[in-house]
Amino acid sequence: MKLSIKKGFGFGVTSGVITTLGLIVGLNSSTGSVLVVTGGIMIIAIADAMSDALGIHVSEEFENVHKDKEIWAATIMTFLSKFVFAAIFIIPFLLFSLSMAIKISIVGGLSVIVIFSYLMAKSYQKNPIKVVFEHLLIAELVIIATHCIGDWVSVYI
């Protein structure tokens, strides 16, 4: 069951951080509204956490090698970690200006990715620099793409 919990947690953390950062950056560049950004964070914390938890649940069932307890452990851990790591991004928007909250969110989110990736790589005896770089690159691509899409939406829609 430990592996199921690790899988759920790892998926929830990375997906929660990267998806929420993309949403925050995209909504900010398209609307510049703290109301829209905070609403988006709350919605994604619930809807995407539930969606990803169900996705992990179905994926684990398809493997047909896990016990029901393991499947549910992965499902619940995915939901909880995704929800917490998405919802926590609302804090800077309640305390700071929109532009400062965006910066804090990006730095904080990328820091979580770095720390989690490093610890995961070390626990599996992989090269931490390679793993951290790979995960940061993906996160940065999401941030850049969603910023560009948000800019496009603000001009053309």
Q: What is the pLDDT of residues 12-33, one digit of tens each?
A: 999 999 999 999 999 999 999 9
Q: Is the distance from CB of 1 to CB of 70 less than 8 angstroms?
A: yes
Q: Which of 53, 99, 44, 118 is nearest to 80 (CA)?
A: 53
Instruction: Tell which wins on pLDDT, 43 or 7.
Output: 43
Helix segments in 32-124, DSSP class H: 34-63, 68-87, 90-95, 98-123
The model scores a pTM over 0.75: yes
Q: Is 128 helix (H, G, I), strand (E, B) or coil?
A: helix
Banded pLDDT at 54 (limits 50, 70, 90): very high
Q: Is 61 helix (H, G, I), strand (E, B) or coil?
A: helix
Q: For 79-98, what is the mean pLDDT? A: 96
CA atoms within 13 A on the CB side of 46: 5
Q: What angle do CA 13, 17, 20 make, to 5 degrees?
A: 135
- Count the domains in the chain: 1
- Residues of the chain with pLDDT > 70, as a percent, come to 99
Q: Does the pLDDT at position 1 exceed 80? A: no
Q: Which domain holds residue 24?
A: 2-156
